[in-house]
Amino acid sequence: MRIISKAKGPLRGEITAEADKSISHRAVIFPALARGESVVRNFLLAADTMSSYSCMKQLGVQIIRDGSLLRVQGKGIEGLQEPVDVLNCGNSGTTMRLLTGLLSARPFFSVLSGDASLNNRPMKRIINPLSSMGAKISARRQGNFPPLAVNGRNLHGIDYALPVASAQVKSALLLAALTADGETSITEPHKSRDHTERMLEAMGARIKHEGLQIIVSPDANLTPQEFIVPGDISSAAFFMVAAALVPGSELIIKGVGINPTRSGIIDVLIQMGCNIKIENKQIISGEPVADLIISGSELKAVEISGDIIPRLIDELPVIAVAMAGASGTSVVHDAQELRVKETDRIKAITSELKKMGISAEATEDGFIIEGRSGTIKGAQVNSHGDHRIAMSLAVAALLAEGETSISNPQAVDISFPGFWQEMVRLSR
Ligand code: S3P
């Protein structure tokens, strides 16, 4: 249980964003596919990324770790070894989906499993296209849910149009395509995060882009790299919204990744009337990074849907909190993917915010929030074991009269283990 009280005053000062989770997963998986040593700096030390780290070790990859610095000794794709035990992906959809793509094309047997949440997340979205490439994957409940049993073999390229934008599905197919016979073409309906393409291209993968289409040619010679992981905009988002909502705040968040496929929250907060300055822009390891300066402002309602959704999908729970503190009725559409994240995030965030007196209505593909429709009051709320719900509720608690107690607060360890400490420090 964590108790959070209303913010006593403005949030001020400087923080460094927690390392990016999506890039950290990739930074421990991809170097294993090259021959030689890659160095990874600022690797995220959190439960999710440690799942990828442990699975790679189980696949026979030697990784030397000194704090957040990794030295990954790649032996080429052919160097991966059959794991002797089940690969435990924990809570991490990224670990499971990326590794399934990779292992479908390796000549050995592997089983991937996760916690109760992950073993209830749909996998047909990767199993169907991988099967068209020739993969043999078995799964529970009509072949949709983990554990997954993968009988790896030679695959062939396909031409595939994703029904929903998903970086995990795109990445699984890109990894399978690296050693397939022939080219693979992948087309998304909207652009999802592109870290996989950026990193594999830097390593020498043969990838071409044509609008929303990506074409991969196999058998490239992948070379080791130095990857410096930037700050995670998805973790910074909680403090961005907190600073936007608490009057008089001015918060500097250093070293945040502002890749355009991830930065939808900046656009939305600016549209809501928030003052955000973007300074010290630079490119680090092929990713745009900057310092963000966020000042508290009077926010107004916003409607979001369409192309922007994949650019802020993980931030929608905390955007719901921003909407609760904004004047007017805000609406989110086209975000049905939220229902198949670590929890059904549409249901989880609306039901918990309601307990705090916020007018929040779940819809099929999003939610409707009437901002400032009454007093936001402290309540007993539940994270549902979902890291992003826990942190979003903590931000809502800063606005609420009285105390809010959040159960299952340790869920934050999945992506942001230092969250509670940072929260206490900034709201003191
Ligand atoms: C991720 C992709 C996103 C995101 C998830 C991490 C990734 O999911 O929600 O938290 O690292 O590739 P999609 O596969 O739905 O894009």
Return the higher-pLDDT residue of 280 and 373: 280
Contact between 322 and 269 under an 8 Å Cβ cutoff? The reply is yes
- Tell me what pLDDT residue 426 has: 87
- Tell me what pLDDT residue 85 has: 98
Arithmetic mean of pLDDT, 171-184:
98
Residue 249 structure tokens: 């705040």
| One domain, residues 11 and 117 | no
Ligand 1 centroid to residue 170 C-alpha, Å: 10
The proportion of the chain whose per-residue pLDDT surpasses 70, expressed as a percent, equals: 100
Residues identified as active-site:
314
Beta carbon of 167 within 6 Å of any ligand 1 atom: yes
Of 3, 5, 1, the C-alpha closest to 428 is: 5
Arithmetic mean of pLDDT, 143-161:
98
Q: What is the pLDDT confidence band of residue 253, given thresholds at 50, 70 and 90?
A: very high
- Tell me what pLDDT residue 183 has: 98
Domain that residue 412 falls in: 2-18+231-426
Arithmetic mean of pLDDT, 99-107:
98
Q: What is the pLDDT confidence band of residue 292, given thresholds at 50, 70 and 90?
A: very high
| One domain, residues 163 and 294 | no
Residue 25 lies in a domain: yes
Checking if the pLDDT of 222 tops 80, the result is yes
| One domain, residues 239 and 287 | yes
Contact between 334 and 303 under an 8 Å Cβ cutoff? The reply is no
Q: Burial, 1: exposed, middle or buried (Cβ in 10 Å; 0-12, 13-18, 19+)?
A: exposed
Distances (CA, A) of 4 to 1, 7, 349: 10, 9, 17
| 22 Cα nearest atom in ligand 1 | 11
Of 305, 307, 311, 310, the C-alpha closest to 368 is: 305
Number of folded domains that form the chain: 2
Beta carbon of 166 within 6 Å of any ligand 1 atom: yes
| One domain, residues 243 and 298 | yes
| 310 Cα nearest atom in ligand 1 | 16
Q: pLDDT, tens digit, for every residue of 9-51?
A: 999 999 999 999 999 999 999 999 999 999 999 999 999 999 9
- 203 contacts: CB under 8 Å, gap ≥ 6: 30, 31, 33, 34, 222, 223, 224, 225
Beta carbon of 314 within 6 Å of any ligand 1 atom: yes
- Tell me what pLDDT residue 427 has: 79
Arithmetic mean of pLDDT, 145-153:
98
What sign does the CA torsion over 196, 201, 204, 209 have?
Answer: positive
| One domain, residues 12 and 36 | no
Closest-CA residue, ligand 1 atom 2, reads 167
Arithmetic mean of pLDDT, 148-159:
98
The proportion of the chain whose per-residue pLDDT surpasses 90, expressed as a percent, equals: 97
| One domain, residues 54 and 191 | yes
Checking if the pLDDT of 428 tops 80, the result is no
